[in-house]
């Protein structure tokens, strides 16, 4: 099944002449060709060749209400008519911060940014300013943005990454300022003993322990039972701040994010993506006594586009829908995700493909692997990543768009009919994968 690709191919050639690498973000380099979108609506993308895709990428997760959701579009258009950028305070940002403080357990006070990488940078600077310490613990396989101080050991080559229980820092890119490595400590995730040993060696120097509370940038890996509470207790004992990077999980797993869903409250949390339904807005939040380091001027935080009026309008509209309809929307997305996961498992069984499907529903992950236990980055790296890439291409050819590494996002715009159509397309793709076609 071949997609029409004539217009896309012409655009690809033009893009390669004027865009570095032919794309504006490395995440858009797909293993099976470049996707040039013409428009998106609800659960669907339409490319410049007229192909329709049931979309499970959703702008890398933020379109929780679906593409071009009516309330968000209306709010954006109305605000654009009142002014696009003020470089001044406005009513909507206060009301949005009040909404975040109302629904997010950790959000006593808020600061806004444009993208997740900035908000992570702000949260870690604040943690250092509050504690007077210099080091940050991150976990192998976790992604916290593309800036130098945290771009280590996201998806490192395993043969360069050291022992599994004492992994070694691996820079994420050429040109990275490697002096920042002196301030980063690396631990395996879901291993409280390894983290405890690391904190016993360095605890007096650790300002923050940062993690994705559900590991979404390396599969969709849930914390093992009791792990987050143990990390929470360890941070309290050592005086380090616990920081949740909820750029993906925020508002997607629950209105209050993974911290509500999993019942563990961090000291600071970072949000992005779904906060504004696809507009460029991020935030870091936390306890007032910590956030007030900014208020007092001890820790600097600035940005011309912070609390951008159009993005804030989109966020207010998004949160209004999520808060008003939470008792209907969240159960429906969980139910659809479970239906999709079950359908994919059965399709893989019938095709004879060893496919493992994990995740709570609003996001799921498919792995081509014989293992049924993926708990950390090393387990993820041991799956058949090449087969997952082939499956991505086979799905695209059949009108289903997922994140190439096997990540699927659900939205409130998806329907049971979409799921059934997806499972049928996936069954055909898996048969082709299984036979090597």
Provide the annotated active-site residues: 143, 245, 273
Torsion, Cα of 77, 82, 83, 86 (10° steps):
-130
Separation between Cα atoms, residue 437 and residue 290, nearest integer Å: 56
Q: How far apart are CA 266 and CA 422, in angstroms?
A: 37
Cα separation, 47 vs 53, whole angstroms? 8
- Count the neighbouring beta carbons within 10 Å of the beta carbon of residue 131: 19
The number of residues in the chain equals: 437
Token pair, residue 341, equals 């996961």
- Ordered alpha helix ranges (H), 157-298: 192-202, 227-238, 257-262, 288-295
* Tokens at 354, concatenated: 């060893």
- For 212-236, what is the HEC assignment? CCCECCCCCECCCCCHHHHHHHHHH
**Is the CB of residue 205 less than 8 Å from the CB of residue 342?**
no
């Amino acid at each position: 099944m071949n997609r029409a690709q004539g217009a896309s191919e012409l655009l690809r050639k033009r893009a390669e002449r004027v865009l570095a690498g032919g794309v504006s973000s490395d995440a858009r380099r797909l293993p099976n060709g470049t996707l040039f979108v013409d428009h998106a609506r609800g659960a669907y993308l339409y490319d410049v060749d007229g192909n329709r895709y049931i979309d499970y990428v959703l702008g890398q997760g933020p379109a929780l209400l679906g593409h071009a959701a009516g309330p968000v579009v209306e709010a954006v258009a109305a605000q654009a008519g009142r002014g696009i950028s003020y470089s001044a305070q406005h009513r909507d940002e206060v009301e949005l911060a009040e909404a975040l403080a109302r629904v997010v357990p950790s959000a006593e006070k808020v600061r806004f940014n444009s993208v997740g990488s900035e908000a992570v940078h702000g949260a870690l600077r604040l943690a250092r300013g509050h504690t007077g310490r210099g080091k940050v613990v991150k976990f192998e396989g976790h992604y916290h943005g593309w800036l130098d101080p945290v771009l280590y050991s996201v998806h490192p080559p395993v043969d360069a990454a050291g022992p599994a229980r004492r992994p070694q820092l691996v820079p994420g890119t050429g040109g990275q300022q490697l002096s920042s490595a002196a301030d980063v400590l690396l631990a395996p995730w879901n291993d409280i003993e390894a983290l405890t040993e690391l904190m016993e060696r360095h605890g007096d120097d650790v300002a923050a322990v940062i993690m994705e509370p559900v590991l979404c940038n390396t599969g969709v890996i849930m914390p093992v039972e009791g792990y987050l509470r143990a990390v929470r207790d360890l941070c309290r004992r050592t005086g380090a701040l616990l920081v949740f990077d909820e750029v993906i999980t925020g508002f997607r797993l629950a209105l209050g994010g993974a911290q509500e869903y999993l019942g563990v409250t961090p000291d600071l949390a970072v949000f992005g993506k779904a906060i504004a339904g696809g507009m460029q807005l991020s935030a870091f939040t936390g306890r007032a006594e910590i956030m007030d380091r900014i208020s007092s001027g001890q820790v600097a935080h600035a940005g011309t586009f912070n609390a951008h009026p159009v993005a804030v309008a989109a966020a207010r509209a998004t949160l209004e829908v999520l808060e008003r309809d939470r008792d209907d929307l969240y159960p429906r997305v969980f139910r659809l995700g479970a239906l999709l996961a079950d359908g994919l498992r059965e399709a893989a069984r019938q095709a004879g493909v060893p496919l493992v499907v994990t995740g709570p529903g609003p996001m799921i992950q498919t792995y081509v692997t014989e293992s049924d236990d993926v708990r950390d980055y090393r387990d993820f790296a041991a799956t058949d990543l090449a087969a997952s890439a082939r499956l991505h291409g086979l799905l695209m050819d059949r009108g289903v768009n997922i994140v190439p590494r096997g990540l699927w996002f659900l939205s409130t715009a998806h329907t049971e009919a979409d799921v059934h159509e997806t499972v049928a397309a996936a069954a055909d793709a898996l048969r082709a994968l299984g036979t090597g076609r």
